[in-house]
Structure 1
Amino acid sequence: MVQANWKRQWPLSLFVWFLIASQLVFARGNQQGNSTRELKFYPPVTLDIQQRFVVLDNGLLRVTLSNPDGLITEIKYGGIDNVLDFHQPESGRGYWDIVWTRPGQKSYFAMIHGTIFEVIAQDENRIEVSFKMTYDPAFDRSGSALPLNIDKRFVMLRGQSGCYAYAIYERLNGWPAVDIGETRIAFKLDQGRFNYMAMADNVQRFMPTYSDRKHGQPLAYPEAVLLTNPSNPAFKGEVDDKYEYSKDNKDNHVHGWITSDFRVGFWVIFPSYEFKTGGPVKRELTSHVGATSLAIFYSRHYAGDTLIGLRFEDGEPWKKVFGPVFIYLNSNYLAEAKTSSLWEDAKEQWSKETLKWPYDFPISDDFPHAAQRVTVRGRLLINDRYLQQYPFPAKSAYVGLAPPGAPGSWQVDAKGYQFWTQTDDNGYFTITSIRPGRYNLYAWVPGIMGDYKSDLDVSIKPGEFNLGSFVFTPPRNGPTLWEIGIPDRTAAEFFVPEGVPGLLNPLYINHPEKYRQYGLWERYTDLYPDRDLIYRVGISDYRKDWFFAHVNRRTIDNLRIPTTWQISFDLQLVIPNATYTLQMALASSAGADVQVRVNDPNAIRPHFYTKLIGRDNAIARHGIHGLYQLFSFNIPGVWLVSGSNTIFLTQSKGGYPFNGVMYDYLRLEGSAV
C-alpha cells in the first residue's frame, strides 16, 4: 500500500524537485530541442486573452502584453511581480520604437503600437502572438503617417526561462518615401532592484540611477553628465554616458542587469546579427543608466548620415525580419549568490541559442528555417608580392555575404541581411545558415589594408556550395618604405591618454579599453599645448607617440583651431621620375578634411586632401573606430629629396572639439620600378 502511494506520487515529486532545482541553482533558458519526455516535467504554456491585455505564462515566467498595442507591461519572474519599472506608465516599460521622417518634414520618435492582435500558434509547448501596425495610403491625406507595416511577434516556449521577440517590417510598391533613423526594443527595468549592469567579462559594474543623471551637471553633449549629488556617494564625480557601454555587432552577444541582492538577472541575447546594420564591426549601444536594456536592430550610431541604411525612395518595396532575440531571465537563490554566477549562466545561454540558430519555431514564411538555409565554403588567399612571392592564406580574415554593392559597401547596408565568418589559418571559410538570395562576397583581413569584393554574384538556393578559391590583391603600388600603425580598422594600437582628472569613469581606469573615458579629445591640447605632434620614423613609437585621434587644439579663449601633424623620415635615394604612394587608412572621421602637404608646410594649396568627410562621431562617443575609409595619394619623386623629408597632415576643420579623424594605418610606398 505504501509502495503504491509512492508510485502515484512520484511524478509530482519529480516535477517539484525539478522546478526547485532549477530555481535554486539557475532558472535556465530555452529548452528548444529537448525531448518531449524532458518537456513534460514543465507546465504547459498558457495564453490568457483579456480585453486590455494578453498574458503568456509557462510556469517559469509570465509576460503581460497590452492588447492590441503589443507593449510589454509586466514580466513576472523569480518571486518578483514585475521586473519592469512599475513607476513608468504601461507604455514606457517594454516597447518597440522607431525614429523616422518623410521628405521635407520633421523627424518623429514613436513607439510602435499595434492595432490588430492575432494568435499565430498555440499548443502546450508553444505560443506565438502577433501585434500588427498597418499603413493605408487612403487614410494618409496629410502625408504624415509612417508608410510601413510592422508585425511584432512574441514567442513563449515550454520549459524556457524567457521569451523571444521579432518583427517583420514591410513596404509595398507605390508607398511614399521615408527615411528610418533607428528602430529597437527598449526595456526599462525596476531601478529599485536592478542596479548592476554587465555587458562583458571586464565591463560590468554597479550603476547610478536616472535620478542621479537628472540632477548631474551636463557636459559637452546631452548624453554625458557629471554626477554631482548621486544617491550613492561613491558615484560622485563620475561621468555617466550611455556611449561608454557600446559594442561591435560581432561582440554584442549578451548584456543585461542583475538585482542588488544578486538573485535575479535580466538579459538581452542576440543569437545572430544577420539582421543587424553594417556587418560585424558596426558599433551599437547595449545597456545604460535608468536600468535600460536595449535590443537595437538599426541605428546610425558610429556611422552618421553616411549610413544610407533604411532610406527609401517613392514606390520602393522592402521587407525584412528583425530578430528573433531572446529575453532571458535567470536566478540564483543559493546562500552565497554572486553576480558572476548569473553572468556566466547568461553567456552559457547565449552559446546554446547560437547552436539553435536558425530557430525552428517562428511561424512566418519570412523566416527561413534550417532546411531552407544555405551553407557555402571557400578559401581566401592574399596576393601581395611585397610580402610573399606567391599567394598565401588569408588568416583570420572576415569573410561575408552581403547585398550587392561596391567593395566595403556592407558597412552602410541595412536593408538586407549579412552573413559573416572568419577564415582558419589556411584561409578556408564556411558560412552557414544563409538565407536564399543574391549576394556579393566581401572580405577584409586584419593586418592587410583594404577591402575585398569578389566579381562573383552569388545567387543562393538551399543546400551546400563550394565557391572555390578567391584571391585578394590588396592596394599597393610599391615596396614599404615606412608604416605607422596596424591595418586593423581601429586606432586601438595608438597612444590613448589617461582620462581627464575629475571627469572619469572608474571602470575604465587601468582598463584595456581606456579609450572609453569621457573627454579624451581634450587631452591632445594638454599634451601638445604649444606645438603639434611630430612623428620621426625609425625613432618614434606609434604606441606612445601617435595620438589616437587627430583633433583640434583648444586655445586659451576656448576656441578650437586646426592642427598639423608631421611625419619626418629619411630616404636614401630618391628617383625623381618615379612615383611614390602614401596610403592613408582611416578608422573614423567626423566633420574632417585632411590635407596633405609634402615638404612644404606653407603651400597655399595642399598637394592632396580628402574633402569634407565623416559623421560617425566616434571621437565624442568613446569609440575606437567608426566607418573605414582608404585614401591613396601618388607622390611624384621630384617632391621628395634624398635625405630628410616631412609629410604634413592638417585636419583643417576647426571650430568644434569633435572634428577630426582616427587613423588606422599609414604607409609610404616606394616606386614599383
Structure 2
Amino acid sequence: MLSLDTLYLTRAQRSSTMAAVGVNLSFHDNHVVVSNGFVQITLSTPEGHITGIQYKGINNLLEVINDESNRGYWDLVWSPHRSPGTTGTSERIVGTSCEVIVETEDQVELSFSRTWNSSLQGKHAPLKIDKRFVLLRGSSGFYSYAIYEHLEGWPSFNLAETRIVFKLRKDKFHYMAMSDDRHRHMPLPEDRSSNRGKPLAYPEAVLLVNPVEAEFKGQVDDKYQYSCETQDLKVHGWISTDPPIGFWQITPSNEFRTGGPTKQELTSHVGPINLAMFVSAHYGGSDLVIKFEDGEKWKKVFGPVFMYLSSTSTQHEPLTLWNDAKNQMLEEVGKWPYSFLASKDFHHAHERGRISGRLFVYDRFITDEHTSAIGASIGLALPGDPGSWQHENKGYQFWSKTDVEGRFSIKNILPGTYNVYAWVNGFIGDYRNINTITITPVCDIVVGDLVFEPPRDGPTLWEIGIPNRSAAEFHIPDSDPMYTNKFLAHEPNRFRQYGLWERYARLYPHGDLVFTIGQSDYKKDWFFAHVNKNKYNIIYEKTPWTIKFKLNDDKNGTYKLRLALASAQLSDLQVRVNDPNSDSPLFSTGVIGGDNAVARHGIHGLYWLFNIDIPEKLLTPYRENAIYLTKINAETVFLGGIMYDYIRLEGPPSS
C-alpha cells in the first residue's frame, strides 16, 4: 500500500507541476469548458448543468448514458405556503443567463443565474438563484456554491430541500466510502429493479434477491444506511479501481446547513450517486422545512463544496484513496473561509468575528461546585428558545466542542445577532445564554464563564440510560439473517441494519417490555425503539412498556419524572402511574415529531425533554410501584415510533 507520507508528497508534486498551467475558459455551442491542465469541466449554458468532468484520460466521470441535464445539477423541492408535510414539486435549477465573473490564469468563476417574476407563479419556486462554479490553477477539483434570495414583494412558499447531485459512471465507480467504519463495494442500480429486487416496508429499501453480483444476494439496499450527522459529514465519495480514481465531495464548513451539528443527512448511495445536501427534512420532519411569508426578505449562501479528484499511479486497495481524501479535507478545512470566491455575499475572514469562553455545569445534587463541561457541543445560532437551534433553518450556525477544561473558541462567525447554545453529554436539557451576542467584522468577544444548570428538582431515585441524545446505549438486537448487511454487523453501526423494529415482536411475543429497577440492565433489557407490534400480519397493536420500582421512602412532596426522547414519529406518548387502565393519563405528549428515524435506520432524530410532576398520592412507599409508557398510535409499525434517550425519577426537593 502507498503510505500516507508518499501520497502527500505525490499530491504536492502533482499540484506543483500543474500550477505551471493556467486556467483556460472557452465557449462552444450551448456549452462552456473550463480546464487547468489537470481537470476539465463542461457545463451547459445558460442552464449551468455539469455535463462532463474529464480527468486522468477519462473523457467523462459522469454517467454518459444519461441526458446532459441528468448528470450533475442543483435542484430543490418546494410547495405552496402552508402545505402540510415535507414533500412538494421537485425542480431542477435551470439558469437563464451565464456570466463570467472572474477570468484569469489563476482562476475562473462562472455564474449561472435565474430570477423569478409573477408570470412564473405556481411554475417555479419564488427564488432568485445564482449558481457559481470555480476552478483554480493547479487544483485537482472544482468548487460550487449558490446564493439564494427571496425578495420583498415575492409570495410565500415552503422550501423542503435543496442540494447538488452528481451521477457517476456505473461502469467505473463501484466502491463507496464515507467514514472509516462505513465503506464498501456497492451493488449496481440494476439490482434494485423489479426483476432483481423486492421492495420492502418503504420505497427506499429493496431486498436484493437476484443481484448481478452474487455477493449481494440477501442484502438490503437503502440509501438511509449511509446517512451521517453533519458534524461528521466533511468528506464522502466514490472510488474507481480501474483506473484507480477517487471522486470526493469535501464540505469544509457546516455553517450553511440547517438543523445544527446533529442533523443527519444523506451522503452517497447506489447509482452511483453523490449528494451535497444543504436543506432537507430528513430525520427532522416538517420543522426543518423553510417556510417563507409573503414579502419576507431572505438571502443565504449555500456552500461552497469542493469536488476533489484523486488518483494513484498503480493499483492499490481503495482505502488508499480514501485516506488521501481525508487529508485533502483537512487542507480545505484549514483554508476556510475561502479567500478566492468573488461573490460579495460570501464573507471572507476579515469580515467575520470570533468568540471564546468557558462552559461549566452546575448540578447541586452531584456536587456543590461548578465543574468543567468537557466535550460539550457549543455554538451560535439565531436567537430563540433553549434547544431551538435543532429546528432553525433560515440562518447560519457555528459550532465547536469544549476542551477538558470547558474552554471553547468559535471563529469565522458571520456578522449578525445570535444566542449561545450548548448541550453536555451526561446531562439533560439545553443551555442558552439569555443575552444575545452581536458579531461584527474582526471582533474578538470573550464571553467569560458560562454556567449551565441542567433541569433538576430533587435527588435521583433511579435512572435508565445515558443522557446523550441517542438510543445507542440500549439493546440493539441482531438483525434478521434475511436482511443482514455484513458491513453493518459491528459497532458502531449495528443500529443501521434493516428491519430491527420487527425484532421487538420476536423478543416479546406474548407481552411487552417490563423493566425492573435494580434488576434489569438497560443495555440488555431496554429495547432501543418503542415500536408497535405486528399481529397476524394484518393489524398493529399498542405496546405498553412498564417500569417497576420500589419506593424506599415516604417523603412528602412532588416527585419529578424526566423523560428525554431521542426520536419521535407522529407519536403520542402517555404516562400512567400504578394504573395501566386509567382513562386519564397523568401526562400525554400530544402528537409530536416527524423525524422517521426508526424507519431510516437512525439512532436519534430530534431531541425532546418532558418534565412530569408525579403527586406523592399516586405512589406507594416501601412497595413496588409502576410507571406505564403507552403510545396510542398503532396503525403501522412506524407510526408512533419513539426512541428514548434517558429517563430519571427524582425525589421531592429537600428543604
Q: Which band: TM-score by shorter chain?
A: over 0.9
Is contact 1:597-1:603 (8 Å) kept?
Answer: yes
Name the CA distance, whole Å, in 1 between partners of 2:232 and 2:159: 25
Q: Which residue is 2:264 aligned to? A: 283
Instruction: Give the distance between the partners of 1:511 and 1:580, measured in 2 at CA.
Output: 37
Q: Equivalent residue of 1:551, what SS?
A: coil
CA contact (8 A) 2:82 2:158 kept: no
Question: Structure 2: how far apart are the matches of 1:174 and 1:283?
Answer: 34
State whether structure 2 residue 62 is matched by structure 1 residue 62: no
Residue 31 of structure 2 corresponds to which residue in structure 1? Answer: 53
Query: How far off its partner does 1:501 sit?
Result: 2.1
Structure 2 Cα separation of the partners of residues 387 and 94 of structure 1: 55
Q: Choose from 111, 124, 132 the match for 1:130.
A: 111
Q: Aligned in 2, Cα 1:375/1:39: closer, same or farther, shift over 3 Å?
A: farther
For 1:393, the equivalent position in structure 2 comes to 372
Show the counterpart of 2:416.
Answer: 437
Residue from 226, 233, 238 that aligns with 2:207: 226
Kept in 2: contact 1:45–1:59 (CA 8 A): yes
Distance 1:593 1:27 in 2: 55
Query: Structure 2: how far apart are the matches of 1:502 and 1:43?
Result: 54
TM-score by length of 2: 0.96
Cα deviation for residue 51 of structure 1 reads 3.0
Match of 1:475 among 440, 452, 455: 455
Q: Is the CA contact 1:27–1:329 (under 8 Å) kept in the aligned structure 2?
A: no
1:272 aligns with 2:253: yes
Does structure 1 conserve the Cα–Cα contact (< 8 Å) formed by 2:18 and 2:36? no
Closer, same or farther: CA 550–262 of 1 in aligned 2, 3 Å: farther
- Indicate whether 1:168 and 2:140 are aligned: no
> Secondary structure at 1:589's aligned position in 2?
strand
Instruction: Show the counterpart of 2:531.
Output: 551
For the structure 1 residues 176 and 332, does the alpha-carbon distance in structure 2 shift closer, same or farther, using more than 3 Å as the test?
A: same
Alignment of 1:107 with 2:85, yes or no, is no
Q: CA RMSD in A?
A: 1.7
- Identity across matched positions, percent: 51
Separation in 2, partners of 1:346, 1:134? 36
Deviation at 1:107, TM superposition (A): 2.3
Unaligned runs of 5+ in 2: none
Instruction: For residues 200-228 of structure 1, give each alpha carbon's deviation from its aligned partner in whole angstroms, at most 9, with x where no partner exists.
Output: 11101111111111231111111000111
Q: Please list every run of 5 or more consecutive structure 1 residues that lacks an aligned counterpart in the other structure.
A: 1-20, 32-37
CA distance in 2, matches of 1:224, 1:377: 45
Q: Give the corresponding residue for 2:231.
A: 250
- Structure 1 residue 509 and structure 2 residue 489: aligned? yes
1:522 matched to 2:492? The reply is: no
Report what 1:627 is aligned to: 606
Distance 1:282 1:30 in 2: 37
Q: Report the Cα offset of residue 500 of structure 1.
A: 1.6
Asked if the contact 2:131–2:147 (Cα under 8 Å) also holds between the matched residues in 1, the reply is yes
For the residue of structure 2 that corresponds to 1:657, the secondary structure is coil
Show the counterpart of 2:547.
Answer: 567
Residue-by-residue CA offset, 1:122-145 (whole Å, 9 max, x unaligned): 1111110100011123x23x5433
Deviations 1:335-379 (A, max 9, x none): x41211100000000000000000001111111111111111011
Offset, 1:40: 7.6
Equivalents in 1 of 2:491, 2:563: separation in Å? 29
4+ runs of 1 displaced by more than 2 Å? 21-31, 38-42, 103-107, 142-145
Aligned mates of 1:613, 1:272 — CA distance in 2: 31
Distance 1:40 1:648 in 2: 67
CA distance in 2, matches of 1:28, 1:524: 53
Partner residue in 2 for 1:14: none
Compared with structure 1, are the counterparts of its residues 536 and 114 closer, same or farther at alpha carbon in structure 2 (3 Å cutoff)? same
CA contact (8 A) 2:145 2:303 kept: yes
| Distance change >3 Å, CA 350–CA 72, structure 1 → 2 | same
SS in 2 for 1:351: helix
Q: CA deviation at 1:333?
A: 1.7
Length, aligned pairs only = 642
Match of 2:367, SS state, is coil
Q: Structure 2 vs 1, CA of residues 104 and 583 (structure 1 numbering), >3 Å: closer, same or farther? A: closer
Residue aligning to 1:78: 56
Structure 1 range deviating more: 386-395 or 189-198:
386-395
Q: 1:187 maps to what in 2?
A: 166
1:213 has 2:192 as partner: yes
Q: Does 1:299 align with 2:280?
A: yes
Deviation at 1:393, TM superposition (A): 1.2
- Which of 597, 603, 620 pairs up with 2:576? 597
Q: Partner of 2:325 in structure 1?
A: 346
Write the deviation string for residues 102-124 of structure 1: whole angstroms up to 9, x where unpaired: 23779210110100100111111
Structure 2 vs 1, CA of residues 452 and 428 (structure 1 numbering), >3 Å: closer, same or farther?
A: same
User: Which residue is equivalent to 1:15?
Assistant: none
Alignment pair present for 1:96 and 2:77: no
> What is the one-letter code of the residue matched to 1:661?
I
SS of 2:477's equivalent in the other structure is: coil
Deviation (angstroms), 1:245: 0.2
Q: Which residue of 2 aligns with 1:491?
A: 471
Pick which of 508-517 and 585-594 moved more: 508-517
Whole-angstrom CA distance in 2 between matches of 1:638 and 1:30: 76
Aligned-partner SS, 1:603: coil
